[in-house]
Amino acid sequence: MRILSGIQPTGRFHWGNYFGAIRQYIDLQNGRDTAFYFIANLHALTTVRVKDQLVQNTLDAALDLLALGLDPNRATLFVQSDVPEISELCWILMTTTPMGLLERCHAYKDKKARGLTADAGLFTYPVLMAADILLYDSELVPVGEDQVQHVEVCRDIAGAFNHSFGEVFVLPKAYVVKDTAKVPGLDGSKMSKSYGNAVDVFEEIKTQRKKIMSIVTDSRPLEEPKNPEGDHLFELYSLFASSEQTKSLAETYRRGGFGYGSVKKELAVLAETYFAEARAKREELAAQPAKIREILAEGAKKARQKASEVLLRTQQACGLK
């Protein structure tokens, strides 16, 4: 059973990235015959237009994933652009992909609705995403419930090609991650870099603590009981706390007689402790750039072995070979 997941290097990973996706996806490397994880730098070109920034983001993504638990002995980690077969497969798929299918995709529709310029890269983004999946005969693609459309579009694109040229592609299935955490940001809305409300996993401790202390809370007096349900500070605390700690804080909320500042200080300590091992591992890896390059090169080599097999099969089916 082959599982595949990619993540864009558009910035440093924050708590929302980790608890909402990365943690669950890395867990899936266990007990699978093959797990492919790639850093989607070709996709990132639709938003990152500074060369040095993209290079650094790509390296940071590799370091972060390895520090957070991705094991290159159990999974294949590689950079998307290090597998050039992806570009040819993307073009081949575009020749049979209906325009109407792309026009209905969320990212393009949303940007157009906001009056923003949508380039060809964004418009054809779903085709490159389909190529990412199909190039490795991927069977399971882990996604959140709001991303199932991506896999459905991939199946439609593969189906259109198969209809014209025979059963060439394996049709993947979405693996819906049921326990995907809904992570609030510092202001209570969804945590996102673009909203300016994110806490990065590996940012400097002093900066992280300052951000945590700035979490927006209401102005109810200390003695007033408070409902933990729907309280974004409580939700953030629960991500890091044990079940006993979470239960105790919920009782404190309902009882009243506490200040949000004390909860924020506890959260800062819990978060620092939670990622302490990963932070130390990242520092160790960052001092070994040659090792990181070796891991990514070996991953690309393994990925290309499978990619070349699938591309050749595709070329033969449509008459290019």
Q: What is the pLDDT of residues 185-243, one digit of tens each?
A: 999 999 998 889 999 999 999 999 999 999 999 988 999 999 999 999 999 999 999 99
Query: Which residue among 109, 182, 190, 301 is the active-site one?
Result: 190
In whole angstroms, give the CA distance from residue 17 to residue 71. 18
Question: Are residues 219 and 169 both part of a single domain?
Answer: no
Q: Say what the pLDDT of residue 134 is.
A: 98
Query: Which residue among 111, 112, 265, 281 is the active-site one?
Result: 111
- Residue 217 counted as domain residue: yes
The total number of structural domains that make up the chain: 2
Question: Are residues 270 and 293 both part of a single domain?
Answer: no
Question: Are residues 34 and 136 both part of a single domain?
Answer: yes
Q: Is 302 a catalytic residue?
A: no
- Residue 192 counted as domain residue: no
Query: Which residue among 112, 193, 265, 281 is the active-site one?
Result: 193
Question: Are residues 139 and 22 both part of a single domain?
Answer: yes
Q: Say what the pLDDT of residue 1 is.
A: 84
Residue 29's domain spans which residues?
Answer: 2-182+289-318
Q: Does residue 103 register a pLDDT over 90?
A: no
Question: Are residues 247 and 307 both part of a single domain?
Answer: no
Q: Does residue 278 register a pLDDT over 90?
A: yes
Question: Are residues 92 and 26 both part of a single domain?
Answer: yes
As beta bridge partners, residue 36 has 4, 76
Q: Is 206 a catalytic residue?
A: no
pTM of the model: 0.92
Question: Are residues 157 and 228 both part of a single domain?
Answer: no
Question: Are residues 58 and 170 both part of a single domain?
Answer: yes
Question: Are residues 60 and 207 both part of a single domain?
Answer: no
Q: Does residue 109 register a pLDDT over 80?
A: no
**Average pLDDT over every residue of 3-13:** 94
Q: Does residue 180 register a pLDDT over 70?
A: no
Question: Are residues 24 and 125 both part of a single domain?
Answer: yes
Q: Is 109 a catalytic residue?
A: no
Alpha-helical segments (H) within 68-140: 85-94, 99-103, 106-113, 120-123, 125-134
Question: Are residues 27 and 105 both part of a single domain?
Answer: yes
- Residue 124 counted as domain residue: yes
